[in-house]
Amino acid sequence: MKLFRIRGGVHPEERKVLSAEHPIRDIPLPDVLHVPLHQHVGTPAQPVVERGDLVKKGQQLAKDDGVVSAPVHAPTSGKVIGIGMFAAPHPSGLPVRTITLKPDGLDEWAELPPPIDDPFAAPPEEIARRVAESGIVGMGGATFPSAIKLNLRERCDLHTLVINGAECEPYLTCDDRLMREFSEQVIDGARVMAHALGVGRIIFGVERNKPGALDALRKAARPFPEVKVAGLPTRYPMGSEKHMVQALTGRETPSRGLTADIGIVVHNVATAFAAYEAVRHGRPLISRVVTVSGGAIRHPANLRVPVGTSVRALLDHCGGFTEKPTRLLIGGPMMGQPLPSADVPVVKGMNGLLALTRREAPDAMAMPCVRCGTCVDICPCGLVPLDMMAHVRRDDISAALKIGLGECMSCGSCSYVCPSHIPLVQYFNHAKGRMKVMAADEQRAEGSKALAAKRAERLERELRAKKEMLARRKAESAKKKRAAKPPPETMAAPPKAAAATPSPPETEPPKTDPTMPLANAESRTAPMPETAPAAPIGDAAIAADEAPTGAVEVEPLAGVTVSVDDPSGPALATDAALLRTLQEKALEKRRQLDGASAQPEASNVHPAETGKGGKDDR
């Protein structure tokens, strides 16, 4: 099969010999299992059991939550003795939600879903569903829920399935052993996945440093012409999805794109084995093969370990340490994560547990960069690690992003070759962690903004409703008042209307308040100019609205309105005496006009003011 060159890469000392010839063996059931609910990329699973429940092997403990999630199953039968926070196998050592199970020693299986006898006749969706229900995730370390990848047929034009058996990290041999010991099952699992994807071509990519695995796979694949097994050059990081696809097909995956964008889906060999178990036997993913190795391990081994087993139990099973390790890692030495403690559980994505001595992992002091350019030459992604490091050191992450930090796959090749022992990949991992925190902060801030806007909107809505309610009440109350008022004929006619239509002289003068000689309160308080011009007198229809601005209108008696032009404006005082004179003159004029007798029947001037007695004068 024709192969293609990949850019960069390194060839670190393999040290696979420590465990490569140790067949896979089961580890005895531990006293207690801590099963984390977040063993995959995406949302943690949600428990479906409670403390005190008795469960059987393979029974679902927690269901998947959302599109990107995976369920978790009981690795053995026993009793749920706790659901709470427990340390996770992560450099931070931070706890995650975990179900603690006390095995009963019976290892009794639950009722499993029936095997799919002829998976190649089953609809692809059924295979993907079975893989999802079995909690299968990418077992090469990525831990992405595998069913999502199997459903890519719905949105991508797929043609090839690549099974990744490169296992390019030094020390690790778990995939090698799986391919050698379970080659037929792995081939069958790959064919079932290819059926689910709807592709007609399967390529196994295995580094040439695993001749046993290559032979076993080629033999198992012989009856299936659609399956090809390719021996790849031993070069780290050949196990990277994009680089393996390039080496096998010569096609480059677009930057920030998926291999599915060029029609190719990649799964790990251990994932293919898990798919076989799920489809052919109905067994969920409850255990995995882990390589326990390193110079400090007394008896390196490849162990089939129930998920949730303590790392300490693995170390004990392998005879403990020959010397105190300087580094305890999960995964390989290039991309592995340091473990803060051995009291963490094995999870679905853990392929190796390494205890390295000082000779294997010396603590070299970082020196200044000599700008040798070696890191640039070997970077498989074509990046300039020394420049990215300089930006990250200055805390200028956006500048590092501009020159490709987002493309860095943290393979560690640059750190491995740096003659100054600069931990370049640690800078990049730190920066990526900062980016995640910043993105989370930004998302939180956006969320708070949205909440504040919603609150303001709600308050405004409530205020508007309140105002409308008050207006409604006011209108109702005004309506009620109007309804309660006496009919219009019983009401006194407005003064102006009376003035406009002079009424016949009344037989009795209106009663007036002696303390209020003039009816208009305004006229009492308003100042009057000393030399107010004489107003036209003579008719009651001397219209007030014809008066210029500032006119002081006096309506002392019904039927008589006197307007005094006030050029100084309404602020001038009114002289009450002058007004009375004017009113008297107006009455006199009216009498003359009406031809009334010289003796008035009633005076418009209050008797109290004239000093003469009147009807009200008692």
Residue with Cβ nearer ligand SF4 (345 or 412): 412
Is residue 333 at the binding interface for ligand SF4, with CB under 6 A as the rule?
no
Q: How far is the CB of 407 from ligand SF4 (least distance, A)?
A: 7
Is residue 70 at the binding interface for ligand SF4, with CB under 6 A as the rule?
no
DSSP annotation string for 37-59: S--SSSBPPEE-S-TT-EE-BT-
What Cα–Cα distance (Å) separates residue 397 from each residue in 20, 113, 381, 400, 419? 41, 49, 19, 5, 25
Q: How far is the CB of 383 from ligand SF4 (least distance, A)?
A: 5
Taking CB atoms within 8 Å and a gap of at least 24, the contacts of 15-18 are 15/170, 15/171, 15/293, 15/360, 16/170, 16/171, 16/172, 16/173, 16/176, 16/209, 18/171, 18/293, 18/294, 18/297, 18/300
Is residue 419 at the binding interface for ligand SF4, with CB under 6 A as the rule?
yes
10 Å Cβ neighbour count for 404?
Answer: 17
What Cα–Cα distance (Å) separates residue 591 from each residue in 285, 610, 613? 119, 19, 22
Cis check: omega of the bond before 237, within 30 degrees of 0: yes
Is residue 307 at the binding interface for ligand SF4, with CB under 6 A as the rule?
no
Alpha-carbon gap, residue 265 to 341, rounded angstroms: 36
Residue with Cβ nearer ligand SF4 (412 or 556): 412
What Cα–Cα distance (Å) separates residue 413 from each residue in 185, 243, 546? 33, 14, 101
Please identify which residue in the block is written with the tokens 């970082």: 366
Work out which of 381, 526, 554, 572 binds ligand SF4, going by CB under 6 A. 381
Q: How far is the CB of 209 from ligand SF4 (least distance, A)?
A: 21
Q: How far is the CB of 201 from ligand SF4 (least distance, A)?
A: 29
Q: Which helix (H) or strand (E) holds 415?
A: helix 413-417
Please identify which residue in the block is written with the tokens 């009440």: 473
10 Å Cβ neighbour count for 527?
Answer: 15
Which tokens is 39 given?
Answer: 């063993």
Is residue 385 at the binding interface for ligand SF4, with CB under 6 A as the rule?
yes
Q: How far is the CB of 368 from ligand SF4 (least distance, A)?
A: 8
10 Å Cβ neighbour count for 90?
Answer: 18
Is residue 393 at the binding interface for ligand SF4, with CB under 6 A as the rule?
no
Binding track, positions 335-374, relative to ligand SF4; x by CB under 6 A:
----------------------------------xxxxxx
Is residue 410 at the binding interface for ligand SF4, with CB under 6 A as the rule?
yes
Residue with Cβ nearer ligand SF4 (217 or 375): 375
Residue with Cβ nearer ligand SF4 (301 or 411): 411
Is residue 236 at the binding interface for ligand SF4, with CB under 6 A as the rule?
no
Q: How far is the CB of 11 from ligand SF4 (least distance, A)?
A: 14
Is residue 383 at the binding interface for ligand SF4, with CB under 6 A as the rule?
yes
Residue with Cβ nearer ligand SF4 (241 or 555): 241
Is residue 244 at the binding interface for ligand SF4, with CB under 6 A as the rule?
no
Residue with Cβ nearer ligand SF4 (370 or 439): 370
Alpha-carbon gap, residue 104 to 32, rounded angstroms: 10
Which positions from 9 through 38 interact with ligand SF4, judged by CB under 6 A? Answer: none
Work out which of 425, 560, 582, 586 binds ligand SF4, going by CB under 6 A. 425
Q: How far is the CB of 331 from ligand SF4 (least distance, A)?
A: 15
Q: How far is the CB of 426 from ligand SF4 (least distance, A)?
A: 10
User: What number of chain residues touch ligand SF4 (CB under 6 A)?
Assistant: 27
> Pick from 19, 23, 29, 18: which is nearest to 310 by CA?
29
Q: How far is the CB of 397 from ligand SF4 (least distance, A)?
A: 15
Q: How far is the CB of 346 from ligand SF4 (least distance, A)?
A: 26
Work out which of 244, 356, 409, 605 binds ligand SF4, going by CB under 6 A. 409
> Pick from 559, 531, 535: which is nearest to 547 by CA?
535
Q: How far is the CB of 190 from ligand SF4 (least distance, A)?
A: 28
Is residue 604 at the binding interface for ligand SF4, with CB under 6 A as the rule?
no
Alpha-carbon gap, residue 209 to 232, rounded angstroms: 9
Residue with Cβ nearer ligand SF4 (311 or 418): 418
Q: Which helix (H) or strand (E) holds 197?
A: helix 183-197
Contact 134, 274 (CB under 8 A): yes
Q: Which stretch binds ligand SF4 (CB under 6 A): 69-77, 85-93, 116-124, 420-428?
A: 420-428
Q: How far is the CB of 377 from ligand SF4 (least distance, A)?
A: 9
Alpha-carbon gap, residue 396 to 483, rounded angstroms: 77
Contact 137, 152 (CB under 8 A): no
Contact 138, 268 (CB under 8 A): yes
Residue with Cβ nearer ligand SF4 (276 or 427): 427
Work out which of 171, 236, 276, 428 binds ligand SF4, going by CB under 6 A. 428
Contact 293, 327 (CB under 8 A): no
- Give the footprint of ligand SF4 on this chain (CB under 6 A): 369-375, 379-381, 383, 385-386, 408-414, 418-420, 422, 424-425, 428
